[in-house]
Amino acid sequence: MIIIEENSGKAWFCRVAVIFLLAGSFALQGCDIGTDTSNNESNGSNQSNGTNGSDANNGGNQNNDSNGSNGNNQNNDNNTLTGDTSPAAAVARFQNYLSREDFEYLFPNRFGSPVWQEQTANAGREPVDYYSYANLLEAIRRMANINIRIEYRFGVPLNPYTMRTIAINKTTGAETTVIEGGGFNSQWNMDRPINVQRVVDYGSFLAAGSANDRRRELAAFLANIGHETTGGWPTAHSGGQFAWGLHFNEEVAFVGGYTSNYTDHANVNFPPVPGRSYHGRGPIQLSWNFNYGQMSAFLFGDKNYLLENPQRVVECGILGWQTAIWFWMTPQAPRPSCHDVMVGNWSNWTPSARDRATNQTRAGFGHTIMVINGGLEGNNTDADGRVFSRIGFYRRIAEKLGADITGEKLDTEGMHGQTWFN
């Protein structure tokens, strides 16, 4: 479950919403979710529906698994794809590092699988392959058509009040002012030159760092979502505890219409809709109204779409995967993104004195835990069950991908939460 710390990530999400007002729509069988503004290039027949696990139809991208299993580190590190962040390259790069066969091996008990169907709680539920490999590829392709540019005025403290976010359609080049902090164009600030704080290219997933960095990043991404959605336990059958990732696509306690208390009624930017539940859904377990609102604004240009219809995240596997990629790649102020901390992309983030004092300057898996849930899982060894689970998934997946994690800090011991202004 995503839990953004008070006065840190929450402040960012409340104010720096990314709204895309660029044309484009899709209507997938069983996955018609209106206008997806990331989908602006031709996507073939748009027949990927995630209902049968078939990878034959993934929006025109050919799912060629000719490289077979890469568990022995035999995948071809095609350097021509490293700097190419186009949708086609993003999909090809992912396939290069994780074949369909290896995905099936890592998540054999996922939502809709035969093991999932055997669970008493799932009796009568349709066994849709929500987390299918095809859905994941299509989500990567769509997200890779999006950039954002975050700007601020020179000489002004970096915070949401003085920042502006611009959306960029990578296919057309069209730019749209997304959101502007109240101080960005205030009279006292107007004469200051505009600086670019950073550009986030969602097609750069697995495109940064060395080949081993990219394997580590993929392992960390899959490990964290595996933990967030796990159905495993220490003595689990069918592959053991860490073979049960992606087993759930929403918080079990709220399946069937029960309403959660993940609502921030004081949030004026993304106010909750009465009667809606903003509990954890999808691979990263998106939760709270301010996160649903931002994701909705980001993808549909309408914050109210998911605020009014949060269940759409579990009704469309592609959308579910998009929420996970969005969270992984987007800076979680005051921290960088999970992507940044896995590849050591410190040019996008200046560690504070407290960061340095609490060992939060090291790229690695432990830092992703702090970005995702540092408020609850910070300053813990693997004696903490949650940290133990994340690390267990990471070790298993890294081994399968052939990623060298020797010497990497995996837990959060010595790391603490922080606020924007420390």
Q: What is the pLDDT of residue 116?
A: 93
Q: What is the pLDDT of residue 354?
A: 72
Please compute the mean of the pLDDT values over residues 384-393 and round it to a whole number. Answer: 98
Please compute the mean of the pLDDT values over residues 164-185 and round it to a whole number. Answer: 78
Of 180 and 125, more confident: 125
Give the list of residues 6+ apart from residue 147 with CB closer than 8 angstroms, or none.
167, 168, 170, 199, 200, 201, 202
Give the list of residues 6+ apart from residue 7 with CB closer than 8 angstroms, or none.
419, 420
Distance of CA 207 to the CA centre of its chain: 15
Q: With bands split at pLDDT 50, 70 and 90, how would you rate the model's confidence at 4?
A: very low
Q: What is the pLDDT of residue 34?
A: 43
Comparing 71-75, 129-133, 138-142, 362-366, which segment has the lowest mean pLDDT?
A: 71-75
Q: Which domains does the chain have, with CATH numbers?
A: 9-52+75-144+204-401 (1.10.530.10), 146-203 (no CATH)
Q: What is the pLDDT of residue 400?
A: 98
Please compute the mean of the pLDDT values over residues 271-298 and round it to a whole number. Answer: 92
Give the list of residues 6+ apart from residue 345 with CB closer than 8 angstroms, or none.
208, 209, 336, 339
Comparing 60-64, 90-94, 113-117, 258-262, which segment has the lowest mean pLDDT?
A: 60-64
Comparing 5-19, 135-149, 178-192, 384-398, which segment has the lowest mean pLDDT?
A: 5-19
**Cα(8)–Cα(386) distance, integer angstroms:** 22
| Active-site choice (217, 228, 251, 377) | 228
Closest by CA position to 7, among listed 312, 333, 260, 314: 333
Please compute the mean of the pLDDT values over residues 283-288 and round it to a whole number. Answer: 96
Helix (H) or strand (E) holding 169: strand 163-169
Q: What is the pLDDT of residue 375?
A: 87
Q: With bands split at pLDDT 50, 70 and 90, how would you rate the model's confidence at 178?
A: low
Distance of CA 21 to the CA centre of its chain: 21
Asked if the model's pLDDT at residue 29 lies above 50, the reply is no
Of 110 and 28, more confident: 110
Q: With bands split at pLDDT 50, 70 and 90, how would you rate the model's confidence at 177?
A: low
| pLDDT, tens digit (0-9, with 9 covering 90-100), for 301-310 | 788 999 999 9
Dihedral sign (CA 341, 176, 273, 15):
positive
Q: What is the pLDDT of residue 128?
A: 92
Q: With bands split at pLDDT 50, 70 and 90, how would you rate the model's confidence at 175?
A: confident
228 as an active site residue: the answer is yes
**Cα(289)–Cα(269) distance, integer angstroms:** 10
pTM of the model: 0.81
Q: With bands split at pLDDT 50, 70 and 90, how would you rate the model's confidence at 19?
A: very low
Q: With bands split at pLDDT 50, 70 and 90, how would you rate the model's confidence at 265?
A: very high
Q: What is the pLDDT of residue 416?
A: 83
Q: With bands split at pLDDT 50, 70 and 90, how would you rate the model's confidence at 334?
A: low
Q: What is the pLDDT of residue 103?
A: 98
Asked if the model's pLDDT at residue 45 lies above 60, the reply is no
Q: With bands split at pLDDT 50, 70 and 90, how would you rate the model's confidence at 38?
A: low
